[in-house]
Amino acid sequence: MTITIIRHGKVNHTWKKSCTSAEFDEECRLYDIASIENMSCSKTYNVSKVYISTLDRSYQTARQLFGEREFAKTDLINEVPLRSAFDTKKKLPLWFWNVTGRLQWLCNSNRQPETKRQTNERAKRFVQELINNAEDCTIVTHGFFMHTLISEMKRSGFRPDKTSLSYQNGEAIKLYY
């Protein structure tokens, strides 16, 4: 079985350089509903099943890559949600909000909408579904979640064709089972 994982296309959103906690939460919401840039695709993907997340940027990416067709939509491959680490009216740099939110996620803080434990469980359920279906497929998902998904797939016996610390928008990775 061969599975291709693709990170969604580049999102048309310019983040504020510094934000209050409420502004950061709003920026995250705006990012989630923004469109993606047009993608040029040099590869041809010929698979019968394409999984997408419930976030619109994965649908937009899949549509640009695969055209008008049916996609298998699941929230099991959604991006790990992010919110401000605490409430403040003080403007803090964007990098601060991203780092502190992800540290809270890593420490399983209930301040974040989802803990690392919950993300791992979600990835595990999806990988089990892939193994049970035993078919070649493509998955259009999100950058931060890709790391959890690929780690879970490796634990389950998949072999990646490459690994990266940061997957670029539109980048694909193949895994073999």
Domains of the chain: 2-176 (3.40.50.1240)
Instruction: Tell me what pLDDT residue 48 has.
Output: 82
- The angle formed by the CA atoms of residues 24, 28 and 34, to the nearest 5 degrees, is 135
Nearest to 80 by CA among 50, 59, 55, 52: 55
Measure the CA–CA gap between 137 and 69, rounded to whole angstroms. Answer: 14
Picking from 72-76, 83-87, 130-134, 163-167, which range would have the lowest pLDDT averaged per residue?
A: 163-167
Tokens 């099943």 belong to which residue?
Answer: 49
pTM for the full model? 0.92
Answer yes or no: are the C-beta atoms of 170 and 6 closer than 8 Å: yes
Which ranges of the chain would DSSP assign to H, the alpha helix? 21-33, 56-66, 94-106, 116-133, 143-155
Per-residue pLDDT at 45: 63
Our measurement of the distance from residue 69's CA atom to the centroid of its chain's CA atoms, rounded to an integer in Å, reads 21
Residue 125: CB atoms within 10 Å: 12
User: pLDDT tens across 6-29, in order?
Assistant: 999 999 999 999 999 999 999 999
Residue range 151-157: mean pLDDT, rounded: 97
pLDDT at 47: 76
